[in-house]
Chain A
Amino acid sequence: MTIIDFLFFLFASGTIASALGVVASKNPVHSALYLVLTFVSCAAIWLLLEAEFLAITLVLVYVGAVMVLFLFVVMMLDIKVAEMREGFVSYLFVGFLIAFMMLALMVYVVGPVGPDVMGIAALDNATRHTAEYSNTEALGEILYTDYVLAFEIAAIILLVAIIAAISLTLRRRPNTKHQSPAKQIKVKSDERLKIIDSDAEELK
């Protein structure tokens, strides 16, 4: 067993164990953290596959941003474990169905019936690149030449999704009082204090 094999089995078993932890743990915060661990160990496996750009981006985007916001929401929830347990059996069936479908897809892709470039058979032809090989450059070259149209369309779809999400959640409440930092910064000294002349009034 070479050191690469050892690392692969280490991170692969880590991925599986933490993925089990996601579904098995009772506390949603623990589940979210197990999911983070799953992502990180997946990223390590991708590193072994010389896909360092994807691996680092997985950590950067999913671990560094998406899961932080996820945790954020889960931490604020007041979760009752008993309620969570309800409907366990009915969800179990749906869960198994989805898991089975994903397994079937994976077997199709990796196994002998799938596309030639991805299956286990293709592993024999795979060669290790030298240290100069840059996965980032290789991905960039292919994304901005062969797949430029698909790439741009994906970018536009994401932009539309951002705008849609913002416009869905943006609500203006005219009756509430709130500060506007922009106005506060622009304020000048003569606007802060107004001196008014008024006649003295007699106390009643």
Chain B
Amino acid sequence: MIDSFLAIGLDVWDWFPADMQTLLFIIGKILLILLPLLLCVAYITFAERKVIGYMQSRIGPNRVGFRGWLQPIADALKLMFKEVIIPTKSDKYLFLIAPVLSIMPALAAWAVIPFDRGVVLTDVNAGLLYVLALTSIGVYGVIIAGWASNSKYAIISSLRVGAQIVAYEIAMGFALVGVLMASGSLNMSVIVEGQAGGIGSWYIWPLFPMFFVYFISGVAETNRAPFDVAEGESEIVAGFHVEYSGMAFAIFFLAEYANIILISALTALLFLGGWLSPFEGLLAADHWLAGTSFFWFFAKACIFAFCFLWFRATFPRYRYDQIMRLGWKVFIPVTIVWLVVEAVMVVAEVGPWAV
């Protein structure tokens, strides 16, 4: 019975032309990345409420499902059934395109993220550049949302975001140039393989200032606390998404959390050796802890994702001029100085260049 079903399935599969098969195969792989990612997004919202709850001596959501585990599902259902209200004098099309523009880059960037050795959707040569380009167009969603809403709070927020993201992107780009200099490649897999050899060989050590700048710029880029002037509840109600409701509103949050996971994953890949084991070289090569694994990558990304939540519970919001000062006058000089230091290290053959 099952065999005949399988045979029919294979017949149907063979019936597709070869190009179509490739296409279906790629779509399947995309779904294999996106569905767990969206699940992670749902549960990082839950983790955030729980973690911040415990940090503030509260319990957090614990009513829906076992200990609150169904809370994100309940939230999603609630938002899906709410009406999406379009303000009368808004720019209707742009108003609806904005959430799409904000989630698209956050998801598309995962195309070049390697999860394990050889487990990557597209192993392109310019992977790092691709990620940088995609994270830079994420700002359009916010800017267009702010403008199309035809609301003063929303536009103030979108102007803040525009300036902030452009400022921090430069520091972020320079930090990535540091990684590029260390690995000699823009390919994500090559960058990770360049850090082989245990915890001491990770780029975080020779590039520590770059790591620092990159991660903090990542927090600023995702408009998270303490850089969340875009939302600034106390000043501009909710910022760029003040006019949004229902699923359109939820998509901005999906994008924000997808970006958090993306930045965490990238930091793990670029500075902490991605899927490589920290015990490589310390333990015997056939020891179960010394091998490469997706779980190392996942654990490292989780550490950074936790930091995002931790920052939100810890730091008060930056003032806007302080944000600008930190981006332009602190981070960019730090990265430029460290690029020069790196150049000297390359010539002197210390650090990852010693080999």
Please give the residue numbers on chain A whose beta carbons come within 8 Å of chain B beta carbons, in ascending order.
3, 27, 29-30, 33, 36, 52-53, 56-57, 59-60, 63-65, 68-69, 71-72, 75-76, 134-137, 179, 181-182
Contact = CB atoms under 8 A, between A and B. Distances in A.
Contacts of A53: 126, 129
Interface in B122-163: 124-126, 129-130, 132-133, 136-137, 139-140, 143-144, 146-147, 155, 158-159, 162-163
Nearest to B143: A71
Contact of A64 (B133, B158, B319): B133
B186 A68 contact: no
B321 A60 contact: no
B166 A52 contact: no
Contacts of A63: 133, 136-137
Given A64-B137, A69-B166, 19 more contacts: A3-B19, A29-B91, A33-B94, A53-B126, A60-B129, A64-B169, A65-B136, A65-B166, A68-B140, A68-B162, A69-B162, A72-B163, A75-B147, A75-B159, A136-B126, A136-B129, A181-B319, A181-B321, A181-B322
A53 B94 CA distance: 30
Given A52-B126, A75-B155, A136-B125, A60 B163 contact: no
7 contacts: A29-B147, A30-B94, A68-B140, A69-B166, A72-B159, A75-B147, A136-B126
B165 interface: yes
Contact of B165 (A29, A68, A179, A182): A68
Contacts, number: 75
Nearest to A178: B321
Contact of A65 (B143, B158, B169): B169
B325 to A, nearest CB: 5
B125 A36 contact: no
B181 to A, nearest CB: 12
A65 B133 CA distance: 10
A57 B129 contact: yes
Mostly helix, strand, loop or mixed at chain A's interface?
helix
B143 A75 contact: yes
Contacts of A33: 94, 144
Contacts of A64: 133, 136-137, 139, 169
Contact of B125 (A30, A68, A134, A182): A134
Contacts of B125: 52, 134-137
Given A52-B125, A56-B133, A57-B129, A136 B186 contact: yes
B147 to A, nearest CB: 5
A-B pairs with lowest CB-CB distance, top 3: A64-B136, A60-B133, A134-B125
A2 to B, nearest CB: 9
Contacts of B137: 59, 63-64
Given A56-B129, A65-B166, A69-B166, A182 B325 contact: yes
